[in-house]
Structure 1
Amino acid sequence: MMLTHAEPVSGSLSATPNDVRPYAWAVFALTAGLLLSDYMSRQVLNAVFPLLKTAWHLSDTQLGSLSSVVALMVGILTFPLSVLADRWGRVRSIALMAAMWSLATLGCAISTNFGEMLAARAFVGIGEAAYGSVGVALVLSIFPARLRATLTAAFMAGGAFGSVLGMALGGVVAVHLGWRWSFGAMAIVGIVLVVLYRLVVTEKRLTPLQPARAFAQPGSADIRASLSTLLRELFSSKSVVCAYVGSGLHLLVPAALWAWMPSFLNRYYGMAPGKAAVGAAGFVLVTGLGMVVCGVLTDRVSRGAPEKKWLTAIVYCLLSFTLLATAFRFAPGPLQLMLIGAGMFVSAGACGPAGAMVANLTPPSIHASAFATLTLANNFLGLAPAAVLAGIIADRIGLLGALQLVPLAPLAAMVAFVIGRRNYSRDLCRFEAQRDSAQH
């Protein structure tokens, strides 16, 4: 089996000049805007959990499955679709994916039972499957390497901000127009952004922003690698594998809390569904802000000492566990909410360091595939099982009991990051030596 990648193996993003053109920021804004739409369509469901539970008499396990099926489809399809995007063109692929998840979200609005909703949600996941990996690969290809952790964190934080908008706007719309219009509103936003993106972003206009192409030899854009070679590059070192695993495990916490926080506030604080959705959106916003702050902090702390990125990831996981495990042991009240907010601020903080490590340890020519692998790990280890696993446990011991167990996940992620840190310097030296050898 032969695979074609869009970029040459030779060259490095580190060759990108330090100045950043305004068009690059416009591309970043539009690509991140579509990620907002992605998560608005994904997370609007959580805002209407209480309404769906009442309307269709669903169990927590069924509610959780409606959320988890999206991440499951993303996990299954992200790698093959990302590889196809490298071959077909990232801009066209992004537009097609966004159109698909927007239309599938419209399908959720007209669903009449659990089965139809589950199928529509699955198609939302199919549309979103490769977007995160392809989008971040496109963004990193037009910016300097020194901004990798910041841009990765900022881009992925778009998921949190999209979740905020999806939950808050979805909750408000549901109260005034009904839950079906919540999905309809998200679909309209997605379709408008697709049209705008397709008008502004083109492969031709992106080419001058990707200096790595300038180092390509004739025909090198058509370099082909066997699947076995691609897999060796994706899993070339113990530290890059640890980055995949640690990133996935630590995301189980924010995924579970994003899914169940509206229901938690509804059940334990007596908030009406609309108010609970808006309140939960505030916690999701805190998570997104934390991702950006943690990414910027990681780049600053690790300037001149890349191995410190691992240390920041370890610290974020430890803080997340400590704060959230403590919070859910307290009785409902201001102190509990404050501790939950603090825990959620750092709960996804390792996204930036993990993404930077993956970019540093894989060739630029396969960055879409590398981030697809990272996305696969994020979904299979964290995002996909989070909501349904918490729902299964909640059906047995209550939602509070389930949320008391969720903070254990960052401890497992921390172990992976510790192992990665121990091997990083050696693995990075070997990778750079291999890259230099290939260029000469």
Structure 2
Amino acid sequence: MTGMAETQGGDQGGAVSNRWYVLILLALVYTLSNLDRYLLGIVLPYIKAEMVLSDTLLGLLSGAAFAIFYATLGLPIARLADRYSRKLIITVSLAIFSVMTVLCGLASSFAMLFIARIGVGIGEAGTSPASYSIISDCFEKERRATAMGIMSLGSNVGLLLGFVAGGIIAANYGWRWAFIVAGIPGIILTLVMHFTMKEPPRGAMDEASLAPDTKQVSTLEAIRTLMAVPSYRHLVCGMALVLFAATGMLAWLPSLLDRSFGLGPDKSGLPIALIIITAGVVGTLFIGGMLADRLGKNDQRWVPRIAAIGALVMAGGAIGVAFAPSLGWLWTAYCFVAVGATTFLAPSLSLSQLLAPVKLRATSGALALMIANLFGLGLGAPFIGLASDLLELRFATESLSMAFLLVPVAGSWAAFHYWRCAQLLPHSLSSQKDDALA
């Protein structure tokens, strides 16, 4: 591991002053990871037709195949990121998931495609926690939600590219070429990051009392430390429930439009992507990032409160989507879903860093993502697919619409946990400072 050890001194000294370039690179990584992650949703109808698969199997392909390894491997990789070069971990992970995305396009059977999606999850597991840690060392805590919001816009841009470009390529050249084309930019970005990005010193933006020490704790001790914080526990629950609702609905929305309104993936991809990219700017950057930072300067409890309000907006919009009598109604309702579903991200990522000791920041982000993604990303699409299959005898082609009613239940539940996170936040932060000074 000595070759991975984080360099010290002058080579890192200018990294914080170059923080906007670092943030742009990390946002591009996040863009490509979401492009590769969500591309599957727009091509599901083509895969279903070619491989003759049930909705339950498609749900497992969309959720469990990716999420299980993405979530569980994130924690051990984050432990490495808390000790060694975060840049190296990100670049290696980026290369892996980009190559595996290409292999998705070369898969000749469901089993091969399932394995390739596992590979995408393995690669993406190493990017986000290390990125959160680097951003926290580049930006002051009063600006972190905004910085996290800018990085999180990569999710919306990646989805835009996946749903629009992926839908067009799949319609004209086949779904396999959509995966092959999507994997190439990541290989190029790997080289750019390796040769041009500098990693900041750990704790560069923190008070001396909270600066990292040289003592390393075990993984179990790190988990116990983080889960002992009441606000952190509620934060993780809120994240999991929002992800369950948002990713489950997004994975199945193109199929719903195809079945209920006759709108094929090549035509539904653009409006879905435009709604999400617009909602990303409004929800992720302006509301979840800039507004949360502004309100949080005077009262940090507003950061999780913003996420709670967003979860309720998502829940209300989802009811409108499920009972939409027309395309116009559905698009309007989905605007509320998209804004609400993107509002939670920047506050959640900022809180995952704020509630953790400096030496456990990558671990904190990974643990939150592991729990949230195993439940949310892993079960959202499969549960909606299973519910659709179970309801098919009664509701026929409308079974998927009825299955979408799982979304407002999860969204309302998430809002409760974010509100509790806010109520307990002063005590949690006070306890953390006492521990740091002990």
**TM-score higher than 0.5 here?**
yes
Indicate which of 14, 36, 40 corresponds to 1:41.
36
Deviation at 1:160, TM superposition (A): 2.5
Give yes or no for the alignment of 1:91 onto 2:92: no
Q: Determine the structure 2 residue equivalent to 1:16.
A: none
Q: Determine the structure 2 residue equivalent to 1:60.
A: 55
Indicate which of 236, 244, 261 corresponds to 1:244.
236
Q: Determine the structure 1 residue equivalent to 2:11.
A: none
Indicate which of 145, 152, 158 corresponds to 1:156.
152
Cα distance change of structure 1 residues 323 and 65 upon mapping to structure 2, 3 Å threshold: same
What amino acid sits opposite 2:266 in the alignment? Answer: G
Q: Deviations over 1:137-182 (max 9, x none)?
A: 1122111111122222332332232122112111111122221110
Q: Determine the structure 1 residue equivalent to 2:349.
A: 355
Q: Determine the structure 1 residue equivalent to 2:330.
A: 336
Partners of 2:207 and 2:181 lie apart in 1 by: 40
Cα distance change of structure 1 residues 193 and 271 upon mapping to structure 2, 3 Å threshold: same
Contact 1:149 1:299 in 2 (8 A): yes
Indicate which of 283, 304, 309 corresponds to 1:310.
304
Q: Determine the structure 1 residue equivalent to 2:75.
A: 79
Q: Determine the structure 1 residue equivalent to 2:427.
A: 426
Partners of 1:200 and 1:92 lie apart in 2 by: 12
Give yes or no for the alignment of 1:400 onto 2:422: no
Cα distance change of structure 1 residues 374 and 221 upon mapping to structure 2, 3 Å threshold: same
Give yes or no for the alignment of 1:51 onto 2:52: no
Query: Percent of pairs identical after alignment?
Result: 25
Partners of 1:286 and 1:401 lie apart in 2 by: 27
Contact 2:96 2:123 in 1 (8 A): yes
Give yes or no for the alignment of 1:229 onto 2:218: no
Partners of 2:205 and 2:307 lie apart in 1 by: 30
Cα distance change of structure 1 residues 127 and 276 upon mapping to structure 2, 3 Å threshold: same
Cα distance change of structure 1 residues 266 and 279 upon mapping to structure 2, 3 Å threshold: farther
Partners of 2:43 and 2:291 lie apart in 1 by: 35
Deviation at 1:208, TM superposition (A): 9.6
Deviation at 1:214, TM superposition (A): 8.3
Q: Deviations over 1:407-439 (max 9, x none)?
A: 2111111221232222221221121122233xx
| Mean Cα deviation higher: 320-329 or 251-260 | 320-329
Cα distance change of structure 1 residues 208 and 428 upon mapping to structure 2, 3 Å threshold: closer
What amino acid sits opposite 1:350 in the alignment? Answer: F
What amino acid sits opposite 1:293 in the alignment? Answer: F
Cα distance change of structure 1 residues 41 and 431 upon mapping to structure 2, 3 Å threshold: same
What amino acid sits opposite 1:270 in the alignment? Answer: G
Partners of 2:5 and 2:333 lie apart in 1 by: 45
Q: Determine the structure 1 residue equivalent to 2:394.
A: none
| Mean Cα deviation higher: 273-282 or 77-86 | 273-282
Contact 1:251 1:348 in 2 (8 A): no
Indicate which of 86, 97, 104 corresponds to 1:101.
97
Partners of 1:301 and 1:143 lie apart in 2 by: 17
Contact 2:31 2:158 in 1 (8 A): yes
Partners of 2:230 and 2:24 lie apart in 1 by: 34
SS of equivalent to 2:82: helix
Contact 2:29 2:94 in 1 (8 A): yes
Indicate which of 138, 158, 161 corresponds to 1:165.
161
Contact 1:164 1:281 in 2 (8 A): yes
SS of equivalent to 1:88: coil
Give yes or no for the alignment of 1:387 onto 2:381: yes
Contact 2:210 2:436 in 1 (8 A): no
Cα distance change of structure 1 residues 283 and 390 upon mapping to structure 2, 3 Å threshold: farther
Partners of 2:320 and 2:202 lie apart in 1 by: 51
Contact 1:24 1:209 in 2 (8 A): no
Contact 1:258 1:284 in 2 (8 A): no
Partners of 1:213 and 1:169 lie apart in 2 by: 45
Partners of 2:233 and 2:202 lie apart in 1 by: 33
Q: Determine the structure 2 residue equivalent to 1:27.
A: 22
The unaligned stretches of length 5 or more in structure 1 are 9-18
Q: Deviations over 1:297-331 (max 9, x none)?
A: 21122221111223222211222212221332231
Deviation at 1:288, TM superposition (A): 2.2
Give yes or no for the alignment of 1:292 onto 2:285: yes
Cα distance change of structure 1 residues 224 and 207 upon mapping to structure 2, 3 Å threshold: closer
The unaligned stretches of length 5 or more in structure 2 are 9-13, 392-398
What amino acid sits opposite 2:433 in the alignment? Answer: E
Deviation at 1:239, TM superposition (A): 1.0
Partners of 1:116 and 1:151 lie apart in 2 by: 38
Q: Deviations over 1:93-134 (max 9, x none)?
A: 000000000111111111001010000000100011131111
Partners of 2:338 and 2:299 lie apart in 1 by: 27
Q: Deviations over 1:360-400 (max 9, x none)?
A: 22111110000001111220221111111111111222211
TM-score using structure 2 length = 0.89
Partners of 2:68 and 2:254 lie apart in 1 by: 22
TM-score using structure 1 length = 0.89
What amino acid sits opposite 1:37 in the alignment? Answer: L
Partners of 1:343 and 1:231 lie apart in 2 by: 32
Indicate which of 140, 143, 151 corresponds to 1:144.
140
Partners of 1:123 and 1:208 lie apart in 2 by: 30
What amino acid sits opposite 2:367 in the alignment? Answer: T
Contact 2:135 2:144 in 1 (8 A): no
| Mean Cα deviation higher: 126-135 or 307-316 | 307-316
Give yes or no for the alignment of 1:189 onto 2:185: yes
Deviation at 1:222, TM superposition (A): 4.0
Q: Determine the structure 2 residue equivalent to 1:278.
A: 270
Identify the structure with bigger relative contact order (alpha carbons < 8 Å, sequence gap 6+): 1
Q: Determine the structure 2 residue equivalent to 1:124.
A: 120
Contact 1:5 1:223 in 2 (8 A): no
